[in-house]
Structure 1
Amino acid sequence: MKILLFGNPSTLHSNLATGLAEQGHEVRCISNRTAWHRFPAYDICLERRTDINGKLALIDYLRHLLPIFRRCKGYDIVQLSNPMFLELRGTHLRPFYNFIRRHNRHIILGSFGDDPHIVEQMLHSDALRYSDQRIGATIRHDSAATLQREQWIEDSRHEVGICRHVAKDCDHIVACLYEYWACYRNVYPEKLSFIPLPIIMENTPTEFSVGDKVKLFIGIQKDRTIVKGTDIMLRAAQDIVRDFPHLAELRIVENVPYDEYKQIMEGSDAILDQLYSYTPSMNSLLAMSKGIIDIGGGEPESYKIINEHELRPIINVLPSYESVYAQLKNLIHHRERIPELKRRSVEYVQRHHDHRKVARQYESLYNSLLHDDKA
């Protein structure tokens, strides 16, 4: 099978590409490196220059893009990580989407991040009890939530139009988090699947312990602290360390490249990540694969959607300072739980997120689409 993957959010597609290649498929991944994160681009790195602006930047980007795009033909599957799969505005993007649609067999849209349908459903539907847009019935009016609405619902630069077109026109939609699946279930249930995030298990620990102090870890993306709830989680963690300095310590990293982030994370006991999420993210799962406990999104729905009825390794928190503080306090005062939670974290990732298992789920989906061609 020939497979082309566009974009690599938090290494999702590069991990998937590795798993698919190990299954014997011909895989190519084209992506940028997501600003300062420097996520691996896998095959072809396509970045838009930031040292020039306006039409010059567009011309330079197209000069690199066009020769690459001419080779994006004859694939069985083309999978997009987002409707905005290139660093182009909607009016410029549409011809490129039409090209890959015309010259390849199937287009799959990955619901791996924000888009108009996600933000709209978070804002107006009852699909979720809380989200980036609402806490219960209360709409969030912080700067991050407002910016999301402006970008994905109120935008006038044709981005919303192309996003809706891609979602409607594609052959299938794959959601990687429960909350994305719940949102798209209200829009395109007939062509929607949930497939877990792929994690490459490296240096998997087999022994689990805790030192004199519980080592907490938090990574900060400066431009996304509010939307991810990092501001609230950071304040709770800092207060825990202030109130119980003999029981806990906190390591904070801010805007570091991905490889450095992974190294700094090593040796931590718990990570705080994604306050408003129902489901662990790539960073959370990476930490769990290393025997680090995730404090964040672990709602019952996230276990149910993967048919997990036994393991509960994630310390689930509600989207409030009080919930985060209470769970941290409980953890550091019951340190005897930590080794077992670490062990279960590793087992959870092995059971549901190993990149080879996830690749087989994608392979099954791809085969079903190709089989329908022959029916």
Structure 2
Amino acid sequence: MKILLLGEYSRLHNSLKEGLETLGHQVIIVGCGDKFKQFPVDYSIYAKICNQKGILNFLFRAIRKATTLDLEKIEKAIRFYFLIDKFKDFDHVQLINSDALETYPGLSRLLYKRLFSNIKSRSLLVCGDETPIIDYLLKNELKYSILTPYFEDPTLEKQFRYPLKYQKEAYRKTFDWLAQNCQNLITSDLDYEIPMQKMGFKTTFIPNPINTFKIEYTPFEIKDKIIIFLGINRLSYLKKGITYFEKALQQIQEKYLEKVEITITENIPYSQYITLYNKAHILLDQVYAYDQGYNALEAMAKGKVLFTGAGQDFLSHYKLEENEVCINAIPNTSDLVNKLSYLIENPEAINTIGINARKFIIKNHEYTIIAKTYSNLWEASQSA
């Protein structure tokens, strides 16, 4: 098949592409590369002109501030418009999100309609903020979620403008149109599968693909200090509950000054992020989750000990009873300190959990198996 993957936020589509190409498919990724993360794409719709340094950038920012007109969004739409004819003979298109083009919803629908007129087999991947996800989270039925800080302090509404934008009528209209015009709605982990099911959507759950051949696992010895890594993305700082990790690390630094080395980074490119976290034994991911995101899974594939979503829903879904594959991080500083302290005082547990993590990834996220699951679903929808 000739497959178009539209959008890239986490390297999910890159790993899926690698798996699909291994199976003999032809795959093209179109996207922006997600700004500072700089994920690779085959055709970029990044707003190069609007993001040039100097007088033009100043002018575009001034226009946006004075009129609310975002020329960066318009540039992305224009760039994609001139690419559409390249994909006339493709067999399937998958969108990573209803806002995969990162433009105005009305422009998105016009461009999707033009694209879909040539590609009849389509999927919408739900692997992040999305209209029904936010609809459900706003019900506040879960013990915690990415919106918990917003519920606790509604004055933070501006900081939650990105997830809350999916409540706007224009974004809702785009999602509803895609839900009607895509044969498949696919979820990538339980943080999206649970809300989609609660909101009454029929979905196909396919775990994130991880390239276990490209990501090497090397057993490590802790000869000196235990290295703890926290990578901060300011756009998701509140959603991931990073403040709990920061408070816990302050206590850990004071308690185990001679035993730990703490590395904290902020808003760095993906390639640099990977280089830094390769040295770590323990990684702190998020506290408001029920499953692991893509970066967490990559770290697990390397045998790192992850603090991330791994509660009872996760354990039950993957039938994990005895072997701990990661640490369930919850929004409680004392709990995080206790769990970190145990690992620091029992370093042999770090290696054991790391081995379990690698085995878990190979069993449940191996990229060619996941790619085959995707292609089987797409082929079935084509023949239906």
Q: Give the TM-score of the pair, scaled to structure 1.
A: 0.90
Match of 2:241 in 1: 229
Residues 369 and 304 of structure 1: CA distance in aligned 2, closer, same or farther (over 3 Å): farther
Unaligned runs of 5+ in 1: none
Deviation at 1:73, TM superposition (A): 2.4
Q: Which of 95, 98, 103 is the matching residue for 1:88?
A: 103
Deviation at 1:57, TM superposition (A): 4.4
Judge conservation of contact 2:209–2:370 (CA < 8 Å) in 1.
Answer: yes
Is the aligned partner of 1:64 residue 2:76?
A: no
SS at match of 1:218: strand
Residues 176 and 77 of structure 1: CA distance in aligned 2, closer, same or farther (over 3 Å): same
Judge conservation of contact 1:82–1:109 (CA < 8 Å) in 2.
Answer: yes
Match of 2:306 in 1: 294
Deviation at 1:118, TM superposition (A): 0.6
Judge conservation of contact 1:123–1:139 (CA < 8 Å) in 2.
Answer: no
Deviation at 1:180, TM superposition (A): 0.2
Judge conservation of contact 2:286–2:329 (CA < 8 Å) in 1.
Answer: no
Residues 236 and 175 of structure 1: CA distance in aligned 2, closer, same or farther (over 3 Å): same
Is the aligned partner of 1:143 residue 2:156?
A: yes
Q: Which of 93, 98, 101 is the matching residue for 2:116?
A: 101
Q: Which amino acid aligns with 2:204?
A: S
Match of 1:129 in 2: 143
1:289-348 alpha-carbon deviations (Å, 9 max, x no partner):
111110111123224334555542111122222221221122212222111111111111
Distance 1:172 1:310 in 2: 35
Distance 1:22 1:311 in 2: 31
SS at match of 1:124: coil
1:62-111 alpha-carbon deviations (Å, 9 max, x no partner):
44322201223233221100001112111111111212232212221110
Match of 1:182 in 2: 194
Distance 2:217 2:160 in 1: 42
1:344-373 alpha-carbon deviations (Å, 9 max, x no partner):
11111111122112111112211221231x
Residues 115 and 60 of structure 1: CA distance in aligned 2, closer, same or farther (over 3 Å): closer
Bigger CA drift: 105-114 or 55-64? 55-64
Q: Which amino acid aligns with 2:325?
A: P
Match of 2:51 in 1: 50
Match of 2:64 in 1: none
Distance 2:315 2:379 in 1: 26
Match of 2:365 in 1: 353
Residues 55 and 196 of structure 1: CA distance in aligned 2, closer, same or farther (over 3 Å): closer
SS at match of 2:362: helix
Match of 1:12 in 2: 12
Q: Which amino acid aligns with 2:18?
A: T
Match of 1:33 in 2: 33
Judge conservation of contact 2:122–2:183 (CA < 8 Å) in 1.
Answer: yes
Residues 250 and 105 of structure 1: CA distance in aligned 2, closer, same or farther (over 3 Å): same
SS at match of 2:83: helix
Judge conservation of contact 1:238–1:250 (CA < 8 Å) in 2.
Answer: no
Judge conservation of contact 2:146–2:238 (CA < 8 Å) in 1.
Answer: no
Distance 1:179 1:55 in 2: 31
SS at match of 2:186: strand
Match of 1:207 in 2: 219
Bigger CA drift: 312-321 or 260-269? 312-321
Q: How many residues align?
A: 366
SS at match of 1:10: coil
Match of 2:255 in 1: 243
Is the aligned partner of 1:305 residue 2:317?
A: yes
Deviation at 1:44, TM superposition (A): 1.2
Identity within the alignment, %? 25
Deviation at 1:146, TM superposition (A): 4.5
Distance 2:36 2:147 in 1: 26
Judge conservation of contact 1:215–1:270 (CA < 8 Å) in 2.
Answer: yes
Distance 1:58 1:195 in 2: 30
Q: Which of 202, 206, 210 is the matching residue for 1:195?
A: 206
Map 1:111-122 onto structure 2 (within 5 A): 111-122=126-137
Distance 1:331 1:225 in 2: 25
Residues 207 and 55 of structure 1: CA distance in aligned 2, closer, same or farther (over 3 Å): closer
1:28-80 alpha-carbon deviations (Å, 9 max, x no partner):
11111111111112x11211233443475466444432220122323322110
Is the aligned partner of 1:334 residue 2:346?
A: yes
Unaligned runs of 5+ in 2: 61-68
Q: Which of 335, 340, 364 is the matching residue for 1:323?
A: 335
SS at match of 2:236: helix
Q: Which amino acid aligns with 2:246?
A: L
Deviation at 1:271, TM superposition (A): 0.1
Distance 1:284 1:251 in 2: 16
SS at match of 1:75: coil
Aligned Cα root-mean-square deviation (Å): 2.3
